[in-house]
């Protein structure tokens, strides 16, 4: 693998030099006022990126999986009933975590490639007049299948049923890359990580709690220590942590939020959509299909591309790494060997995306698939040429 080539996995993503430098800092006293100048702006920046006016932001030295556990252990008690759909590897893993914490999960089995079944959620919630269901899990962007689900529709299902369950949303591969509206969608806990849209190394679990979720945490009885938001709140009040924080990563997060907000969130989302559309144009030119069942479900951060029946899609990934020094994502779970994934999120440009498309073409041709070299690149070029990548400097 070459450090000179960009990665095309759905995370960790490419790290801009300015963020690498922000993380590379001298040691400081994390209980000094200086640390507060890093911590509080980073939390404020995350709140803006979540489009929330009143969420409390908690940042743990962990990954998105730690964020899942933060949501569960702070808001729930053993035996509580949870509603969740299993439509990909990451929804599956969150369900598994619930079960291992002694929670009672009602699982709606959903084909991999489909989005969350909001209508079915409404039926189940409407049939729960005693409000035994305490939380609904929703994976906004299923990284294994390249499927984006409609979180606003899940909120409408809760509201139509008149149900008070908390709404927990996994936004690990969407937040900071795709539009996310915590307040408007009534999200109670939003979970993400540092290594995707925030363009940093893995190491931070970033979690937003609504006032309703904070209130629920006061009576929740699941054990928690490391992920206890009460301890974290007390620490934040003194510009500190209850334990040693990842100071360099937090400094990088502060810089990442500044970078994203300076670009403008709507511009960030438009850039991701434009790059994704170029990749999708290439997939069509190759005569292949996406795992996502419908264009309304297409993710703007990762495309899971189906290969012909009988072909092992993982061979494309291993061949790209060994021959060309380029990283793509393998298929996971039920789609292992059936898809390969192109991540197109974080620090990425049209020009960088074209290099990934060209490499995928070479790999497929090398491995005997009926792919015309240049076909996908040309299709993506046509799209990018017709959709301006960045504002012209002389027009700014």
* String of DSSP letters for 151-168: HHHHHHHHHHTT---EEE
| Reported pTM | 0.95
pLDDT of residue 4: 87
Longest dimension (CA), the chain: 62
Q: Whole domain around residue 39: which residue ranges?
A: 18-262
| Residue 8 within a domain | no
Same domain, 95 and 201: yes
Same domain, 36 and 142: yes
| Residue 50 within a domain | yes
Helix, strand, coil % over all residues of the chain, rounded to 5: 45, 15, 40
Same domain, 215 and 165: yes
Same domain, 112 and 140: yes
Same domain, 367 and 333: yes
| Residue 144 within a domain | yes
Judge whether 103 and 80 are in contact, CB under 8 Å.
yes
Same domain, 83 and 144: yes
pLDDT tens, residue by residue, 10-22 = 999 999 999 999 9
Same domain, 224 and 138: yes
Give the list of residues 6+ apart from residue 315 with CB closer than 8 angstroms, or none: 367
- Band of pLDDT at residue 389, cut at 50, 70 and 90: low
| Residue 9 within a domain | no
Mean pLDDT of the chain: 96
pLDDT of residue 83: 98
| Residue 156 within a domain | yes
Q: How far is 249 from 268, CA to CA, in rounded Å?
A: 21
| Residue 5 within a domain | no
Same domain, 203 and 240: yes
| Residue 86 within a domain | yes
Same domain, 161 and 270: no
Say which CATH number the domain at 303 has.
3.90.1150.10
- Band of pLDDT at residue 3, cut at 50, 70 and 90: confident
pLDDT at residue 265 greater than cutoff 50: yes
pLDDT tens, residue by residue, 83-134 = 999 999 999 999 999 999 999 999 999 999 999 999 999 999 999 999 999 9
Same domain, 31 and 155: yes
Same domain, 297 and 184: no
Same domain, 212 and 175: yes
| Residue 318 within a domain | yes
pLDDT of residue 45: 98
Q: What domain count does the chain have?
A: 2
């Amino acid at each position: 693998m070459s450090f000179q080539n960009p990665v095309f996995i759905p995370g960790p993503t490419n790290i801009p030099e300015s963020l690498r430098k922000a993380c590379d800092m001298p040691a400081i006293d994390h209980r000094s006022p200086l640390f507060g100048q890093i911590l509080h702006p980073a939390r404020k920046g995350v709140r803006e990126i979540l489009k929330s006016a009143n969420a409390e932001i908690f940042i743990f030295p962990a990954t998105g999986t730690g964020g899942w556990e933060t949501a569960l252990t702070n808001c729930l008690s053993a035996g509580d009933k949870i509603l969740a759909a299993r439509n990909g590897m990451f929804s599956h893993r969150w369900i598994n975590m619930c079960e291992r914490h002694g929670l009672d999960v009602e699982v709606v089995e959903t084909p991999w490639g489909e989005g969350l079944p909001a209508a079915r959620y409404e039926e189940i919630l409407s049939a729960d007049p005693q409000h035994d269901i305490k939380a609904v899990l929703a994976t906004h962007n299923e990284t294994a299948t390249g499927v984006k689900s409609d979180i606003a529709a899940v909120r409408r299902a809760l509201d139509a049923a008149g149900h008070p369950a908390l709404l927990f949303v996994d936004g690990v591969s969407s937040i900071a890359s795709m539009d996310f509206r915590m307040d408007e969608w009534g999200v109670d806990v939003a979970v993400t990580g540092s290594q995707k849209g925030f363009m940093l190394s893995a190491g931070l679990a970033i979690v937003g709690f609504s006032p309703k979720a904070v209130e629920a945490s006061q009576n929740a009885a699941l054990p928690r220590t490391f992920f206890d938001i009460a301890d974290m709140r007390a620490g934040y009040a003194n510009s500190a942590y209850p334990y040693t924080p990842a100071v360099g990563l937090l400094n990088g997060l502060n810089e990442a939020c500044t970078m994203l907000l300076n670009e403008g969130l709507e511009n960030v989302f438009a850039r991701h959509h434009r790059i994704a559309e170029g990749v999708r144009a290439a997939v069509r030119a190759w005569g292949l299909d996406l795992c996502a069942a419908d264009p309304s479900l297409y993710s703007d951060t990762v495309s899971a591309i189906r290969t012909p029946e009988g072909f092992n899609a993982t061979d494309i990934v291993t061949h790209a790494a060994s021959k060309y020094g380029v990283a793509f994502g393998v298929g996971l779970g039920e789609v292992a060997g059936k898809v390969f994934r192109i991540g197109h999120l974080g620090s990425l440009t049209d020009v960088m995306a074209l290099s990934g498309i060209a490499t995928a073409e070479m790999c497929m041709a090398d491995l005997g698939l009926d792919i015309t070299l240049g076909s996908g690149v040309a299709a993506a070029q046509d799209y990018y040429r017709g959709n301006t990548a960045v504002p012209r400097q002389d027009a700014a």
